Amino acid sequence: MQPTQEGKISVSVLCSDLMNLERDIKQLERNGVDYLHVDVMDAHFVPNLTFGVDFIAAMHRVTKLPLDIHLMVEHPLPIMEAMDIRPGDRISLHVELGEQLHELAKAVRARGAHFGLVVNPSTPVEALTPYLDEIEWVILMLVQPGFAGAKLIDGILDKVAAARRFLDEHGHPETEISVDGSVSCERASLMRDMGASIFVGGTAGIYRKGMTLDESIPLFRQAIK
């Protein structure tokens, strides 16, 4: 299944050289990446603790690239209220949070940002059904969320094609599919054909051992054309 949307790159800053992040961001800008993917974790919804509201504000000071903010938190509203959300940023919350998502979607859009949902590996895509009219994209987790460099879940790539069929059959062909976790060039190319159009690049696709960003990003972009 060939998607109609142009493939986009969202680079995971969790995999960057955090002591030289501004340098990395400037390299990413020069290479024309589309988004900077920021994983916000609370050590409750997932077992890791990562970036917070001050980090988001600092990133906004050094780049005009839209942030692709993935909230892996049990209580997203107070974090969102404190966060420097810029118009055009993308905020993704987990469908596993349940019914509060309707109000959270309104809160995101009130800030001029875009709203999407994340689906964990064990969660069926049918869990998206109550929210299909509110989301602009779906992030499919291909690994257990919480840590960079996690192992790809066996058989998970089939979920990409299943999600594309589900969205199309429910009248939402415009809803994009983003894939996150162990997205190598080879896997990205396969998932592009299955209907994915946004690719979160980390250690498998962008920050590759023995390669500079100037080398890895063109290869990754070629894979998702």
DSSP 119: E
Q: What is the pLDDT of residues 45-54, one digit of tens each?
A: 999 999 999 9
As a whole number of angstroms, the distance between CA 121 and CA 177 comes to 14
Token duo for residue 134: 């509110």
Mean of pLDDT values over 88-109: 94
As a whole number of angstroms, the distance between CA 141 and CA 122 comes to 9
Counting Cβ atoms within 10 Å, is residue 117 exposed (0-12), middle (13-18) or buried (19+)? Answer: buried
* Cβ contact 76:45 at 8 Å: no
Mean of pLDDT values over 157-162: 98
Cα 189 to Cα 10, 101, 195, 210, 211, distances in angstroms: 15, 32, 10, 21, 19
Would the pLDDT of 2 be above 50? no
**pTM, 2 dp:** 0.95
Q: Determine the 3-state secondary structure of 122 from DSSP.
A: coil
Residues labelled catalytic: 39, 180
Q: What is the pLDDT of residues 102-115, one digit of tens each?
A: 999 999 999 999 99
* Cβ contact 136:114 at 8 Å: yes
As a whole number of angstroms, the distance between CA 15 and CA 37 comes to 10
Mean of pLDDT values over 86-115: 95
Q: How many residues does the chain have?
A: 225
The residue type found at 179 is: V
Mean of pLDDT values over 122-142: 97
As a whole number of angstroms, the distance between CA 114 and CA 84 comes to 14
pLDDT at 149: 78
pLDDT at 147: 81
* Cβ contact 108:101 at 8 Å: no
For residue 5, what pLDDT band results from cuts at 50, 70 and 90?
A: low
For residue 148, what pLDDT band results from cuts at 50, 70 and 90?
A: confident
Mean of pLDDT values over 7-31: 97
As a whole number of angstroms, the distance between CA 225 and CA 212 comes to 21
Cα 53 to Cα 4, 32, 50, 63, 122, distances in angstroms: 35, 25, 10, 16, 29
Task: Measure the CA angle with vertex 56, ends 51 and 59; round to 5°.
Answer: 115
pLDDT at 6: 78
